[in-house]
Amino acid sequence: MASRTVLVTGAAGSVGSALVPRLADRGWDVRAIDLVRNESAVGQRIIGDCFDDSVLDAVLPGCHAIAHLAAVSGEAPLSDIAPSHITGFGRLLEAARRHGVRQVAFASSNHAVGFIPNDGRTAGVEVAARPDGFYGVGKAAGEALCSLYADRYGFRTVSIRIGSFRESPNTVRHLATWLSPDDLGAVFDAALSAPGQGHSIVYGISRNKRRWWGLEPGRAIGYDPVDDAEDHLDTIDPQSGTPEELDYLGGSFAWRDRTTDA
């Protein structure tokens, strides 16, 4: 039987804390690594820098796959984004190649395409990257690295453009972009199990009635979400958020610090 050991980077973050137990429930033997300890994590808990070659050389042997979540979270100066999103991720992929780990699920983001106007049509994965900030640039660069390692080295990589991950939706925008904790586990499980070689992009969203992104790419790798933000409609204030959050796929990220010509 093939190994079902997965290294989850950034395992102590909000997404990682929800993902680790759900991957374990789906039969994965989890090695959870972060700079801080996640006491709620199951499996092997490792404190360390997942961008350090000596740490990677210690934790990657015996792994079948990597779920990569570790990075600067949220918008930040490019000088902060590049070391983790680009240089660090490149170092992780190179260590994976060195140790024969060829299956990678990458936590990308809707912010890689956040400046695409929301015109009421469902956006697919074929659209060109239009990041809405340096964070989105980092995610777009991570997708490019996944594509490179798939094409050049025969990896199987899946970039998961996560919408709005949280326990439950709480704004009008979330009715379109929500990713539930259980669907988070399902989409990463599908990405970590995707057969063959090559790079795929899928949207990490639940089966939301008002979704802005298509589910077909996810279904092509076996991801069929079950939750729907519409089930939480009664708990959402119709005035929540700002009207501008609905103008672009990236929501408020696309409006932060914008300037216009006089």
pLDDT at 44: 82
pLDDT at 22: 97
**Extents of the domains making up the chain:** 5-255
Residue 157, pLDDT > 50, answer yes
Higher model confidence: residue 122 or residue 164? 164
Residue 8, pLDDT > 90, answer yes
pLDDT at 126: 86
pLDDT at 257: 59
Q: Tell me the CA end-to-end span of the chain in Å, nearest whole number.
A: 65
Distance CA 162, CA 68 (A): 13
Torsion angles phi and psi, residue 250, rounded to 5: -85, 0
> Tokens 């809405």 — which residue?
132
Active-site residue set = 135
Give me the mean pLDDT over the 229-235 stretch.
96
**Which tokens belong to 45?**
């808990």
The alpha-helical segments, DSSP class H, found in the chain are 14-25, 53-59, 78-82, 89-98, 134-153, 174-177, 181-193, 216-220
Secondary structure class of 146 (helix, strand, coil): helix
Q: In the structure, what pLDDT confidence band is assigned to residue 41 with cuts at 50, 70 and 90? A: low
Looking at the chain, the whole-number percentage of residues with pLDDT higher than 70 is: 95
pLDDT at 93: 98
Residue 42, pLDDT > 70, answer yes
Residue 2, pLDDT > 80, answer no
- Tell me the per-residue pLDDT of 182-193, one tens digit each, with 9 for 90 and over: 999 999 999 999
The greatest distance separating any two alpha carbons of the chain, rounded to the nearest whole angstrom, comes to: 65
Give me the mean pLDDT over the 150-154 stretch.
98
pLDDT at 242: 77
Distance CA 203, CA 201 (A): 7
Which CATH code of 3.40.50.720, 3.40.50.300, 3.30.565.10, 2.170.150.20 fits the domain covering 5-255? 3.40.50.720
Residue 119, judged by CB atoms within 10 A of its CB (0-12, 13-18, 19+), counts as exposed
